[in-house]
């Protein structure tokens, strides 16, 4: 199956969806992490230029600049590619915790990452996620709590990246696209697949769905 190496069309689509979806985001009082700022800071700390990162990820320098300047917000698959290129983990752009042999993330300490957290504040999220494994040194998995919105435009572009993913539906119903295959998952259902398969998930109802997502970045 062909690898999707650039996500401009996906970001454009999700930004359009977000503009049409109305207000939705993290619960009142939850801290919202601006991932782009963290990506830029981490890249600069490693002494990697924007063009060097573009070569490593296959994304355009223009797209990476948009992410870093919060003009667009990356899906998790894009963050996986960026993290792998910088030899780090996705939650390095989210958690900011000191790493040790184990990690405990209290409910009140979780930070929400919105899919559209723009400087201008003009868009709302197609989904949001919270890192659950930040702080665990040498981890091979990245667990997230993900809140999914319903899909408005069914002409969605699937994302792909190295690794594997496990999803467990905590509440609601979730539609899963795996290349040309699609299926409906109910509360208590789960799915495990190779992330190299072009994929997309969203709430299948007119309300938010909640899932536990565990990603293996292929490192």
Phi and psi dihedrals of 97, rounded to 5? -95, 150
Q: Average pLDDT in the 152-177 region?
A: 87
State the CATH number of the domain containing residue 185: 2.60.120.10
Min mean pLDDT across 30-44, 55-69, 196-210 is at 30-44
Task: Give me the sign of the Cα torsion angle 211, 168, 130, 124.
Answer: negative
**Domain span at 47:** 8-216
* pLDDT of 149: 84
Give the integer Cα–Cα distance in Å for 107 and 125. 21
* pLDDT of 198: 93
Question: CA-CA distances (angstroms) from residue 59 to 74, 93, 118, 142?
Answer: 11, 18, 20, 22
Q: Coil, helix or strand for 10? A: helix
What's the structural domain count of the chain? 1
Looking at the DSSP bridge assignments, the partners of residue 213 are 144, 167
Closest of 198, 166, 143, 199 to residue 2, by C-alpha:
198
Residue 22 lies in a domain: yes
123 or 50: which carries more pLDDT confidence?
50
Q: What is the pLDDT of residues 69-83, one digit of tens each?
A: 878 777 778 888 898
């Amino acid at each position: 199956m062909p690898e999707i190496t650039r996500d401009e069309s996906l970001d454009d689509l999700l930004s359009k969806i977000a503009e049409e979806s109305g207000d939705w985001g993290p619960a009142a009082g939850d801290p919202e992490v601006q991932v782009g700022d963290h990506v830029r800071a981490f890249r600069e700390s490693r002494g990697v230029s924007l063009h060097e990162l573009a070569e490593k990820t296959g994304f355009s320098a223009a797209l990476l600049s948009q992410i870093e300047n919060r003009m667009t917000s990356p899906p998790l698959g894009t963050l996986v590619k960026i993290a792998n290129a910088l030899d780090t983990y996705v939650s390095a752009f989210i958690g900011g915790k000191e790493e040790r042999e184990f990690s405990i993330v209290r409910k009140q300490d979780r930070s929400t990452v919105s899919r559209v957290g723009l400087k201008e504040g003009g868009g709302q999220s197609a989904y949001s996620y919270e890192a659950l494994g930040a702080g665990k040194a040498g981890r091979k998995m990245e667990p997230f709590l993900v809140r999914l919105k319903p899909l408005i435009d069914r002409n969605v572009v699937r994302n792909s990246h190295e690794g594997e993913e496990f999803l467990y539906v905590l509440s609601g119903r979730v539609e899963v696209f795996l290349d040309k295959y699609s299926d409906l998952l109910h509360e208590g259902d789960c799915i495990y697949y190779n992330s190299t398969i072009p994929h997309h998930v969203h709430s299948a109802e007119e309300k938010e769905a909640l899932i536990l997502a565990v990603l293996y970045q292929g490192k």
